[in-house]
Amino acid sequence: MSKPTEGPVPTRPPLWRNIVVIKWVAQLGSLIALVWLAYVLITQATANLRATGIPFSWDFLGEPLGVKLSEGFNTDPESGLEALSVGMVNMIRITWSGVVAATVLGTIIGIARLSSNWIVSRIANSYIEFFRNIPLLVQILFWQALIIGVLPDLTPDMEGSRWLFASPKGIAIPWLIPQAGRWQYMVLLAVGVVVARWTYKKRIEILEREGRETHAFGWATGVFLVFLIGGWFAHPIAGVLGWLFQALAWVAGNLPVISFQWLMGGLSLALAAWFIVRYMRKLRSPAGMAKLTDDDYFRLGVAGFLGIVLFFFFVSGAGEATIIRVMGRSLTYKMNWGFEPLFNFLATKYDFSGGSPLRFSLPEVEVPTNFPRYASDAGNSMTPGFVATWLGVTLYAAAFIGEIVRAGIMAVHRGQSEAASALGLHRAQSLRLVVLPQAFRVVLPPLGSQYLNLAKNTSLGIAVAYADVVQVGQTIFNQEGQTLPVFIFWMAFYSSVSLFLSGIVNYYNRRMELVER
């Protein structure tokens, strides 16, 4: 090591002692080692699978399976992809209804825990301690055992309609059954939500400008009701969308592939350039450009690299093949998927036809041959698997949500509710007007992760033969032996669900924070 005197003798350290070099070599080295390990594992797996005679393949997605599903919009799917999509829809169905029910129940329990009424808070507390400490699977199996073992079976003399049936064959309740017009009606409802929101904002603006009560919420509700009721009769208007979808289908099906390729390639380059420009602008201040650190160089490098790689991917043959598949122009699989078939499908749903979009219907028992069963087209008959899973995930999640709500209320409780009572509000009023809105902000992030847990927990329905995506997947790999593709499919599906859910939570989180300032 040379000893510089006071004079300017700038020295460069040797590479192996330079911390910046060491830092990046270690990181890139680990990255390369990992990629290499993944490569070795995949090679190994490919070889092993070939040796067992079932090479890795996605063909089952398009091939007829011959499996029957216990429930779903299509219990007799023609191909693997169709079966899996039935499973996905079933999973989303149970998650959605579970989230709604668990939120309502959990909020009630959370508030009840803070009640001054001893017995109410005690019961809420026992509920939480009870349901939280029993494994969810045990709970689901328990509900199934109750439904199968305790409820009385259907008898032939029960034939006919009632408001409620409960038997080992499942539970049947009245339902609004969607009819052909529901696609058009849904569009009108969505428009209604947007217009109602816009109205709300406008009324609030007027309130702020003129300082008079404008009943913003009432107006918004009214506007939505207009769409809700008016749409019931006017929904054929939405049939114009049919033309739009036809046009889109034409674009997806007939535009030259090369144009898509260049569009996507250009987009990826533009995205990378936009990132780089934005990043550089962030580093510039009135005092001049900041000196770039190694982290900055890394980020800019990665952005540029990714942009260029994506560009070459899209303009290459692989990009061409991908686009052909995504657009739905290649019919390698019998399952017709891609943008073109999707738009064609949607186009058939929007056709100016009238009729009520929903039909109210009571459940009904029919006795075709001495064996009573639920009529399939009346009411909503839920299988024991669905009821057990739904009850399980809902009651389980409600216990956790109750705790979250309680913690949220406690977090804002003290000073705020004292201030509210100093203003002369009742306790119930202060809860509703002051505490709960603020608690919502505290509660939201943990609530989001509970929703995610609930979504994942529905996979336990497999234990009671509920045909969700995991159960369908398992059926498929038991039959076809394609374990890895099914696992990759699960990964992709659940990752998208969790990305979607956390996206929503983050969006609201950010909005809440903005409101605060």
Scan residues 92-151 and list those touching other proteins (CB under 8 A).
Answer: 115-120, 123, 129-130, 133-139, 141-142, 145-146, 148-150
**Region 436-475 residues binding other proteins, contact defined as CB under 8 A:** 452, 456-457, 459-460, 462-463, 470, 474
Shortest CB 374 distance to other proteins, Å: 23
Shortest CB 222 distance to other proteins, Å: 30
Q: Does 70 bind other proteins (CB under 8 A)?
A: no
Shortest CB 269 distance to other proteins, Å: 23
Q: For 16, phi and psi rounded to 5 degrees?
A: -75, -5
| Maximum Cα–Cα distance across the chain | 106
Report how far residue 337's alpha carbon sits from residue 324's, in angstroms, rounded to the nearest whole number. Answer: 11
Shortest CB 22 distance to other proteins, Å: 6
Number of residues that bind other proteins (CB under 8 A): 96
Q: Does 259 bind other proteins (CB under 8 A)?
A: no
How far out from the chain centre does Cα 4 lie? 62
CA-based nearest residue to 379, from 176, 181, 179 = 176
Tell me which of 39, 312, 352, 487 binds other proteins, using CB under 8 A. 487
Q: Which is nearer to other proteins, 33 or 258 (CB)?
A: 33
Shortest CB 515 distance to other proteins, Å: 26
Q: Which is nearer to other proteins, 295 or 513 (CB)?
A: 295
**Region 492-511 residues binding other proteins, contact defined as CB under 8 A:** 494-495, 497-499
**Region 388-427 residues binding other proteins, contact defined as CB under 8 A:** 426-427
Q: Does 433 bind other proteins (CB under 8 A)?
A: no
Report how far residue 440's alpha carbon sits from residue 102's, in angstroms, rounded to the nearest whole number. Answer: 16
Q: Does 479 bind other proteins (CB under 8 A)?
A: no
How far out from the chain centre does Cα 494 lie? 8
CA-based nearest residue to 141, from 380, 399, 465, 383 = 465
Q: How many CB atoms lie within 10 A of CB 233?
A: 12
Q: Which is nearer to other proteins, 123 or 346 (CB)?
A: 123
DSSP label at 434? I
Report how far residue 459's alpha carbon sits from residue 468's, in angstroms, rounded to the nearest whole number. Answer: 7
Report how far residue 185's alpha carbon sits from residue 31's, in angstroms, rounded to the nearest whole number. Answer: 51
β-bridge partners, 167 = 170
Report how far residue 311's alpha carbon sits from residue 6's, in angstroms, rounded to the nearest whole number. Answer: 52
Q: Does 491 bind other proteins (CB under 8 A)?
A: yes
Q: Which is nearer to other proteins, 344 or 475 (CB)?
A: 475
